[in-house]
């Protein structure tokens, strides 16, 4: 892997360069909290922080996205909408890089989802390191570092930035806008040191090997946990909406007031919301909040794993952070692990 | 001319809220004449008791959808005065900006939706949408601009969100303000066209001397701050409002009537323009003159002209405020905290005239007593007076024409009946 | 790359009112390509402005560019569909999903159990089987509806009942003054059926509540799980395995279903 | 090619309220001309003189709070094919129901004075939502309604669709908008039990969700009370929060 060294002042030059050809989105502070927004200079970027409250997946899979544009009438007409701008996602943390890798897989398998893939194609991903807070547990699900799936990865090593090159496209962009030199072994080792330090910073962790989690979850279908947390859960779907790997959606039509043209669009949906699995006739296949929670947790640790390979939780802790009643994915998972272990003992 | 005429307009249209006009003329003499307010009373002053000081503006805003910013502002000012809260300059500027949005919105709505149909002799703007689409679209453009001012500052016009005790909870973006300024500047073309249109209308000639009460402030045309001022040349501090105004109930109205020492008085755009003419912006003064406000008109029909002049003023002043906000730079500010408790009065010039809110707040920040005096309630007495004096001059007309003319008269006041149904401190006419 | 949400346009060529709530629509593609479906598959039907919904194909595979659907009025799209006139254009994508194992069940006795509009996809299967009548054994169709007015395809049921070795039993949920036939839920008639479990394949399509009891009944008849096929209904928004609505555990109904072999999903919690 | 339908006739009525929701309709500045092409407005006292009784769709704003209003809304129900409750006052009773927890004589006295007891004119009945009096087909929630929801319902009615009404809490809108949850800032919020559809505009503009749209179908109110308590609300505060827009169910009302 190719590592380059970018001097301190090079960063703003680089961002300015990117801004010429791309919309650039990155982590910034809003009301004191990290969020992703469009940025217009490097100095707005929040380059070393815990995860953002809302995920950057919105730039690849927007909250509301037009799929088709149509004209009604005798002979309806329809065209595919694929509005995607060239964009740079700057400051994507390893967990989110992994999440994007998973979304790539979901939207590409079987019948490819052109809307997502077209956006993805036009997106440059520039990763950065981060600081775990009390909800982060990426170390427990092997997503603390990202080896690839980015175009560039930039890490602040004091005197300047260590830039890891992930793709040719990334390299070309870097070289086009700023002067860098080959990083020294010493500089590269700073990243390793940082990872060591980061590893020691986690307060949350799952008490089992990631590879055992699908089995633990499949054995916990009838655990009393689901009903317990179902009682306190609001069914507000916050956990779904902030999760970087939740991708369910609803499809709706909007017709304009002339009643002649309109669009078909999709919006984020969430399996915790009451009507998610309701069908015509009123039957709800996951009526209780407990059932819906079980479904969501299992999607992260079992169902999608069966289907796509790899855990679908990247340990960002956002769902726990967003949950008003403190339903914590690490605690629940540990509880299930414990139930299983004590169950075995008996 | 001795004739018998009965006019009974149930639920007068193109006004805010429910009111009836009842006129009974026997032998050419008025036997009975009433403006009945049949809007259901809602008892805001009663149920606001027990609520916390930082919910008051949210609740009191709901007194009226059309002057929600005014009620919110009066309410905030009363609470802030009761609790010793001094808001920052920036907050005051933003609140004033939203206030201008409301005045423009309300006046344009009145002029274009409620009044213009009378001049075109149609029942609403609906037929105008096809016969005079230019007029309708212009009205809608101006109204939209007014809505945008409120949206950018306060989230929306109807029940503004970010106006909060201690300041404002949201800052507009500089880019939004710049875009808004551009649109405000562009709107003069539409305003001038509006002015031309209203110049072409024939305003009924009717004049009767009266007292005008409004706010007055040194240094600026008073909407958001100032003292109580009367055309009879006296002024009072806001807290002394009860010394100026007395309310009474009449058995056919859920809105109370108000009177000053010398009887009924008029509030609203005409009162303000008459009392504070010199402080209007340049273009506003020109517009006022262009519409015939050269002397000190007592003709209530001139209220429409005064409204249009005020729209000019608000647009110009809004541009000034935006310039100031941008040049001074927008800063995030914490809401100012209460320092004490007690009683406080807040007054503002709502689009329809001076508006009073007063609360008593206890040491836990809970409202224990409240009183509001709404502009339309203050105008009810003078409206009836005017009807009484106006009718003889139109008695020669047909019943339909009389009805229409009287309705126009009532409408000229732009009465806002839905909010005029809650008033306190009653004195009965025994 | 083409968007999977794009549609083929089809013209409504015939509308037949079957009941108060259900109508049969014969659709013809604007181009001359066939739909190319197998019985049990579904399409995504759409009307611009009203939305999109999964609907089973009700006609048997056809070499022409035509097919039929039967739709019950329940909500947005279905309401608007029922106001359309002959000649209107609708959008179609699909066919999607896995259908009934028409080939595999050849040479077997076929037990068909349908509830309500479950008969709609079943009709496609029945017609396919009848086209090759000789390849199948005895056919039994147990059809349950709420009341006599809800019976779909009355004429066709009549015809089928005249086919040799076709045992048709219709039952209505509640006793009805004008109804002389069977009453009660379909499961009531399972015990009295003469079934050679060894050579029978069963197919079930109906409302969610029906499955559990029918499966129990079939168990008593000793029909093996791998000889029982059922079509599951879930909410669906994309039809291509993305939107997540139809997911049961690791299974996406729109991809691996809607027709499943019972033995494959017996352990799939939440499936039945 | 749907069956040819004449322009539907639409009426707007207003009962006990601030008329803000009707005004919100008039605030559809960009759409108003198109709307007038699609429907025929036959009754809209705030904006037009015409008052006809041959309407298909009635939008009714305001709570019912006087005896004669009961008769009036019943008459409207008889004439209209579709009745849409316009805004919080008519959908859930809205703020008006706050007065229900005080005795009538008391509120009369507070507002109109001691002698008001001699005047029947000021008498009201407990304020109530429309569906406490007549069946309602669709609801437009919110104080005030949102323009986009109004337009969506109108378009749905015109296309024959069933209008969508979100059955998920405001937290969803908040997350979609990208707001930071106010609980993170130490404030409290009614959003987790309140029906969405407002784009969480109050949170976006720096306030909290007040609950004006009423609750979702199955709100977890126990959990919410617990959360609010944890965040420091007193028993009084709790009552106040749930009262503000939930007064009808709390004080005497049921459907
Ligand atoms: C694989 C598959 C095959 C299918 N095949 C067929 C078929 O062949 N024929 C067929 O008719 N259906 C079929 N369905 C069901 C069909 O997809 C649904 O009926 C359809 O999606 C309804 O769409 P809609 O837009 O009309 O309803 P929607 O507007 O989406 O309404 C759906 C939901 O809203 C509820 N609802 C509807 N009206 C109201 C109301 N007034 N008030 C409150 N709630 C209401 C319904 O109960 C339902 O829960 C099939 C489903 C699947 C999954
Ligand atoms: S499940 Fe929770 S912790 Fe895991 S990726 Fe999603 S939001 Fe992050
Ligand atoms: S965020 Fe918490 S309360 Fe909301 S749905 Fe998820 S688990 Fe339930
Ligand atoms: S601010 Fe309120 S509505 Fe928004 S997420 Fe938080 S609790 Fe929910």
Measured CA to CA in angstroms, residue A214 lies from A109, A144, B54, B335, C64 at distances of 21, 20, 50, 50, 48
> Per-residue pLDDT for B426 more than 70?
no
**Which residues on B lie below 8 Å from D43 (Cβ)?**
none
Q: Could you give the 3-state DSSP secondary structure of residue A15? A: helix
Any idea which of B229-243, B406-420, C73-87 has the lowest mean pLDDT?
B406-420
* pLDDT digit string, tens, across residues B87-122: 999 999 999 999 999 999 999 999 998 888 888 888
Alpha-carbon span C257 to C42, nearest angstrom: 10
> Per-residue pLDDT for B138 more than 90?
yes
* pLDDT digit string, tens, across residues D153-201: 999 998 888 888 899 999 999 999 999 999 999 899 999 999 999 999 9
Is the CB of D15 inside 8 Å of chain B's CB atoms? yes
Rounded to an integer, the average pLDDT of B403-428 is 61
With a 6 A CB cut-off, is D216 part of the ligand 4 pocket? no
Collect all residues with Cβ–Cβ distance below 8 Å to D239 and sequence separation of at least 6.
Answer: none
A217-220 long-range Cβ contacts below 8 angstroms, 24+ apart = A217/A297, A217/A298, A217/A301, A217/A302, A217/A336, A218/A298, A218/A302, A219/A340, A220/A336, A220/A339, A220/A340
Q: With bands split at pLDDT 50, 70 and 90, how would you rate the model's confidence at B1? A: low
- Which pLDDT score is estimated for D100? 80
* D touches B, CB cut-off 8 Å, minimum 3 pairs: yes
Alpha-carbon span B105 to B99, nearest angstrom: 10
pTM of the full structure: 0.91
Helix axes C154-162, C119-131, angle to 10 degrees: 40
Please give the order of strands across the beta sheet that includes B29-37.
Answer: B5-9, B19-26, B29-37
> Per-residue pLDDT for B180 more than 70?
yes
Report the mean per-residue pLDDT for chain B.
87
Mind giving me the DSSP string for A284-345?
A: BTT-SHHHHHHHHHHIIIIIHHHHHSS-S--S--HHHHH-TT---HHHHHHHHHHHHHHHHH
Report the nearest-CA residue for atom 49 of ligand 1: A280
- Which pLDDT score is estimated for B203? 85
> Per-residue pLDDT for B414 more than 90?
no
- Which pLDDT score is estimated for D211? 94
With a 6 A CB cut-off, is C52 part of the ligand 1 pocket? no
CB contact under 8 A, C89 and D162: no
Its sign, for the CA torsion B193, B194, B197, B198, is negative
CB contact under 8 A, B14 and D24: no
For residue D159, give the nearest of C49, C75, C88 by CB distance. C49
Q: With bands split at pLDDT 50, 70 and 90, how would you rate the model's confidence at A147? A: confident
Token pair, residue B63, equals 């007194």
CB contact under 8 A, A250 and C3: no
> Per-residue pLDDT for B409 more than 90?
no
For residue C245, give the nearest of A70, A277, A307 by CB distance. A277
> Per-residue pLDDT for B365 more than 70?
yes
Classify residue B187 as left (phi > 0), alpha (psi -120 to 50) or beta.
alpha
Q: With bands split at pLDDT 50, 70 and 90, how would you rate the model's confidence at B380? A: confident
Token pair, residue C90, equals 């609708």
Is the CB of D46 inside 8 Å of chain B's CB atoms? yes
- Which pLDDT score is estimated for A148? 86
Task: Give domain limits for chain A.
Answer: 2-62+81-200, 210-342
Choose one of A135, A225, A229, A233 to mutate for the ligand 3 pocket test, by most ligand atoms within 8 angstroms of C-beta.
Answer: A233
Residue, of D4 and C146, whose pLDDT is higher:
C146
* pLDDT digit string, tens, across residues D7-45: 899 999 988 888 889 889 988 888 888 888 889 888 887
Alpha-carbon span C140 to C197, nearest angstrom: 13
Report the nearest-CA residue for atom 5 of ligand 4: D171
Is the CB of D18 inside 8 Å of chain B's CB atoms? yes
- Which is nearest to A97 in space by CA: A64, A138, A66? A138
Residue, of B399 and C34, whose pLDDT is higher:
C34
Token pair, residue D164, equals 């969508």
Q: Could you give the 3-state DSSP secondary structure of residue D27? A: coil
Across-strand partners of C43? Answer: C55
Q: With bands split at pLDDT 50, 70 and 90, how would you rate the model's confidence at B123? A: confident
Q: Are B80 and B166 in contact (CB under 8 A)?
A: yes
Alpha-carbon span A270 to C136, nearest angstrom: 45
- Which pLDDT score is estimated for B256? 67
* pLDDT digit string, tens, across residues D98-132: 878 877 777 666 666 666 665 565 667 788 899 98
With a 6 A CB cut-off, is D211 part of the ligand 4 pocket? no
Q: With bands split at pLDDT 50, 70 and 90, how would you rate the model's confidence at A114? A: very high
> Per-residue pLDDT for C249 more than 70?
yes
Q: Which residue has the tokens 């605690």?
A: A331
Rounded to an integer, the average pLDDT of C27-31 is 91
- Tally C-beta pairs within 8 A across B and D: 189
* ipTM of predicted assembly, 2 dp: 0.91
Q: Go through the domains of chain C in sequence order and give each one's CATH number.
A: 8-96 (2.40.30.10), 109-265 (3.40.50.80)
Q: Which residue has the tokens 């540990």?
A: A334
Neighbouring CB atoms inside 10 A of B243's CB total 12
Cα atoms in the 13 Å half-sphere on the side-chain side of D121: 18
β pairing state of D40-44 and D9-14: parallel
Q: Are A24 and A86 in contact (CB under 8 A)?
A: no
**Which residues on A lie below 8 Å from C255 (Cβ)?**
110
Report the mean per-residue pLDDT for chain A.
91
- Which pLDDT score is estimated for A346? 42
Alpha-carbon span D3 to C85, nearest angstrom: 7
Q: Go through the domains of chain D in sequence order and give each one's CATH number.
A: 9-158 (3.40.50.700), 170-251 (no CATH)
Residue, of D140 and C194, whose pLDDT is higher:
D140
Q: Which residue has the tokens 């008073």?
A: B222
CB contact under 8 A, C4 and A249: no
> Per-residue pLDDT for B314 more than 90?
yes
Closest atom of ligand 1 to C257 CA is: 1
Residue, of A342 and D205, whose pLDDT is higher:
D205
* pLDDT digit string, tens, across residues B215-271: 999 989 999 999 999 998 999 999 999 888 887 766 666 666 777 888 889 999 999
Neighbouring CB atoms inside 10 A of B236's CB total 16
By C-alpha distance, the chain D residue nearest A318 is D175
Q: Go through the domains of chain B in sequence order and give each one's CATH number.
A: 44-420 (1.10.645.10)
Residue in A234, A272, A321 to test binding to D, most D beta-carbons within 10 Å:
A234
- Which pLDDT score is estimated for B23? 79
Helix axes A225-232, A289-298, angle to 10 degrees: 120
* pLDDT digit string, tens, across residues B219-231: 899 999 999 999 9
- Which is nearest to B361 in space by CA: B109, B37, B82, B141? B82
> Per-residue pLDDT for B14 more than 60?
no
Q: Could you give the 3-state DSSP secondary structure of residue D5? A: coil
Report the nearest-CA residue for atom 53 of ligand 1: C233
Rounded to an integer, the average pLDDT of A66-71 is 93
* pLDDT digit string, tens, across residues D78-97: 999 999 999 999 999 988 88
Q: With bands split at pLDDT 50, 70 and 90, how would you rate the model's confidence at B422? A: very low
- Which pLDDT score is estimated for A345? 43
- DSSP element (H, E) containing B7: strand B5-9
D99-106 long-range Cβ contacts below 8 angstroms, 24+ apart = D99/B42, D99/B43, D99/B46, D99/B47, D99/D124, D99/D126, D99/D127, D100/D126, D100/D127, D100/D247, D100/D248, D100/D251, D100/D252, D100/D253, D101/B47, D101/D243, D101/D247, D101/D250, D101/D251, D102/B43, D102/B46, D102/B47, D106/B46
Its sign, for the CA torsion C254, C256, C259, C263, is negative
Q: With bands split at pLDDT 50, 70 and 90, how would you rate the model's confidence at C197? A: confident
Rounded to an integer, the average pLDDT of B349-366 is 94
- Which pLDDT score is estimated for A1? 64
């Amino acid at each position: 892997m190719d590592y380059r060294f970018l001097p301190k002042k090079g960063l703003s030059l680089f961002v300015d360069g990117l801004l010429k050809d791309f919309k650039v989105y990155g982590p910034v502070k809003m009301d004191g909290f990290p969020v992703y927004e469009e940025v217009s200079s490097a100095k707005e970027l929040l380059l070393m922080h815990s995860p953002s409250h809302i995920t950057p997946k919105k730039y690849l899979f927007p909250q509301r996205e037009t799929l088709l544009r149509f004209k009604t009438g005798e002979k309806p007409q329809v065209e595919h909408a694929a509005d995607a701008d060239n964009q740079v996602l700057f400051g994507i943390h390893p967990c989110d890089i992994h999440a994007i890798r998973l979304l790539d897989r979901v939207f590409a398998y079987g019948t490819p989802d052109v809307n997502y893939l077209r956006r993805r194609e036009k997106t440059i991903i520039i990763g950065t390191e981060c600081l775990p807070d009390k909800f982060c547990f990426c170390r427990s699900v092997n997503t603390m570092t990202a080896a690839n799936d980015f175009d560039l990865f930039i890490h602040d090593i004091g005197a300047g930035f260590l830039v890891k090159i992930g793709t040719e496209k990334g390299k070309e962009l870097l070289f086009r806008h700023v002067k860098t030199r080959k990083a020294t072994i010493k500089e590269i080792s700073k990243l390793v040191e940082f990872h060591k330090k980061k590893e020691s910073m986690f307060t949350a962790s799952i008490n089992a090997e990631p590879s055992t989690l699908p089995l633990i979850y499949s054995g916990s279908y009838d655990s009393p946990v689901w009903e317990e947390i179902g009682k306190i859960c609001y069914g507000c779907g916050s956990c779904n909406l902030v999760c970087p790997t939740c991708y369910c959606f609803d499809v709706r039509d909007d017709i304009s007031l002339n009643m002649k043209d309109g669009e078909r669009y999709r919006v984020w949906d969430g399996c915790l919301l009451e009507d998610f699995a309701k069908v015509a006739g009123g039957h709800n296949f996951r009526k209780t909040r407990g059932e819906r929670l079980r479904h969501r947790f299992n999607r992260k640790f079992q169902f999608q794993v069966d289907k796509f390979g790899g855990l679908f939780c990247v340990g960002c802790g956002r769902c726990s952070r967003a949950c008003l009643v403190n339903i914590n994915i690490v605690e629940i998972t540990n509880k299930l692990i414990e139930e299983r272990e004590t169950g075995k003992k008996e | 001319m001795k004739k018998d005429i009965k006019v009974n307009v149930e639920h007068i249209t193109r006004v805010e809220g429910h009111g009836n006009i009842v006129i009974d003329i026997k032998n050419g003499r008025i036997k009975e004449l009433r403006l009945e307010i049949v809007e259901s009373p809602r008892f805001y002053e009663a149920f606001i008791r027990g609520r916390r000081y930082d919910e008051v503006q949210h609740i009191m805003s709901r007194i009226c959808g059309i002057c929600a910013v005014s009620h919110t502002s009066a309410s905030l000012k009363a609470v802030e005065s009761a609790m010793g809260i001094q808001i920052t300059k920036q907050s005051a500027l933003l609140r004033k900006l939203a206030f201008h949005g409301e005045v423009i919105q309300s006046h344009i709505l009145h002029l274009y939706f409620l009044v213009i149909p009378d001049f075109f002799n149609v029942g609403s703007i609906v037929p105008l949408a096809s016969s005079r689409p230019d007029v309708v679209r212009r009205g809608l453009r101006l109204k939209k601009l007014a809505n945008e001012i409120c949206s950018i500052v306060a989230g929306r016009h109807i029940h503004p969100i970010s106006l909060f005790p201690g300041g404002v909870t949201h800052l507009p973006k500089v880019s939004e303000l710049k875009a808004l300024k551009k649109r405000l500047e562009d709107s003069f073309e539409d305003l001038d066209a509006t002015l031309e249109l209203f110049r072409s209308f024939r305003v009924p000639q009717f004049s009767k001397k009266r007292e005008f009460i409004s706010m007055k402030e040194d240094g600026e045309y008073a909407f958001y701050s100032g003292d109580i001022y009367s055309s009879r040349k006296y002024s009072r501090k806001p807290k002394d409002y009860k010394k100026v105004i007395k309310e009474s109930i009449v058995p056919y109205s859920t809105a109370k009537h108000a009177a000053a020492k010398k009887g009924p008085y008029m509030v609203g755009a005409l009162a303000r323009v008459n009392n504070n003419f010199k402080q209007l912006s340049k273009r506003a003064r020109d517009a006022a003159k262009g519409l015939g406000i050269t002397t000190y008109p007592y003709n209530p029909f001139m209220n429409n002209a005064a409204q249009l002049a005020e729209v000019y003023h608000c647009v110009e002043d809004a541009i000034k405020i935006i310039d100031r906000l941008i040049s001074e730079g927008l800063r995030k500010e914490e809401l100012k905290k209460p320092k004490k408790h007690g009683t406080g009065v807040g007054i503002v010039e709502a689009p329809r005239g001076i508006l009073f809110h007063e609360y008593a707040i206890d040491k836990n920040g809970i409202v224990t007593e409240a009183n509001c005096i709404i502009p339309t309630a203050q105008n009810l007495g003078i409206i009836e007076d005017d009807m009484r004096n106006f009718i003889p001059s139109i008695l020669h007309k047909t019943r339909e024409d009389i009805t229409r003319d009287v309705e126009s008269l009532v409408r000229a006041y732009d009465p806002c009946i839905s909010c005029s149904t809650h008033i306190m401190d009653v004195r009965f006419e025994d | 790359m083409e968007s999977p949400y794009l549609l083929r346009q089809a013209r409504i060529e015939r509308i037949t009112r079957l009941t108060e709530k259900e109508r049969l629509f014969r659709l013809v593609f604007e181009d001359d390509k066939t739909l190319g479906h197998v019985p049990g598959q579904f399409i995504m039907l759409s009307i611009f402005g009203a939305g999109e919904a999964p609907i089973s194909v009700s006609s048997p595979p056809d070499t022409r560019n035509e097919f039929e659907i039967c739709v019950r009025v329940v909500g947005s799209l279905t309401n608007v569909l029922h106001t359309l006139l002959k000649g209107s254009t609708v959008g179609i994508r699909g066919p999607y999903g896995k259908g009934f194992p028409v080939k595999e069940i050849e040479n077997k006795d076929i037990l068909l159990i349908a509830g309500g509009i479950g008969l709609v996809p079943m009709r496609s299967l029945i017609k396919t089987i009848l086209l090759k009548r000789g390849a199948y054994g005895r056919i039994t169709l147990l059809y349950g509806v709420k009341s006599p007015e809800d019976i779909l395809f009355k004429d066709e049921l009549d015809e089928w009942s005249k086919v040799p070795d076709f045992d048709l039993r219709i039952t209505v949920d509640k006793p009805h003054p004008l109804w002389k036939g069977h009453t009660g839920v379909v499961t009531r008639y399972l015990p009295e059926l003469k079934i050679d479990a060894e050579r029978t394949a069963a197919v079930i399509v109906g409302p969610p509540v029906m499955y559990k009891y029918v499966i129990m009944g079939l168990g008593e008849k000793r029909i093996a799980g791998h000889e029982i096929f059922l079509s599951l209904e879930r909410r669906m928004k994309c039809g291509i395995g993305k939107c997540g609505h139809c997911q049961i555990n690791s299974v996406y109904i729109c991809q691996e279903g809607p027709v499943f072999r019972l033995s494959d999903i017996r352990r799939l919690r939440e499936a039945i | 090619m749907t069956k040819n339908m004449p322009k539907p006739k639409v009426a707007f009525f207003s009962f006990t309220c601030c008329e803000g929701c009707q005004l919100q309709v008039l605030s559809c500045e960009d759409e108003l001309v198109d709307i007038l092409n699609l429907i025929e407005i036959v009754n809209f006292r705030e904006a037009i003189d015409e008052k006809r009784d041959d309407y298909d769709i009635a939008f009714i704003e305001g709570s019912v709070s006087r005896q004669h209003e009961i008769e009036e809304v019943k008459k409207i129900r008889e004439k209209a094919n579709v009745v849409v409750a316009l805004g919080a006052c008519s959908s859930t009773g809205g703020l008006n129901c706050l007065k229900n927890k005080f005795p009538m004589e008391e509120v009369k006295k507070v507002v109109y004075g001691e002698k008001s007891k001699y005047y029947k004119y000021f008498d009201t009945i407990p304020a109530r939502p429309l569906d406490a009096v007549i069946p309602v087909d669709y609801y437009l929630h919110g104080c005030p309604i949102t323009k986009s929801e109004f337009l969506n319902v109108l378009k749905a009615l015109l296309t024959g669709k069933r209008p969508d009404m979100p059955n998920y809490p405001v937290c969803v809108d908040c997350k979609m908008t990208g707001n930071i949850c106010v609980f993170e800032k130490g404030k409290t919020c009614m959003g987790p039990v309140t029906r969405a559809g407002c784009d969480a505009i109050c949170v976006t503009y720096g306030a909290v969700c007040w609950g004006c749209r009423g609750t979702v179908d199955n709100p977890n109110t126990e959990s919410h009370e617990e959360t609010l308590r944890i965040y420091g609300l007193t028993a009084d505060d709790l009552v106040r929060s749930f009262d503000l827009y939930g007064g009808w169910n709390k004080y005497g009302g049921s459907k």
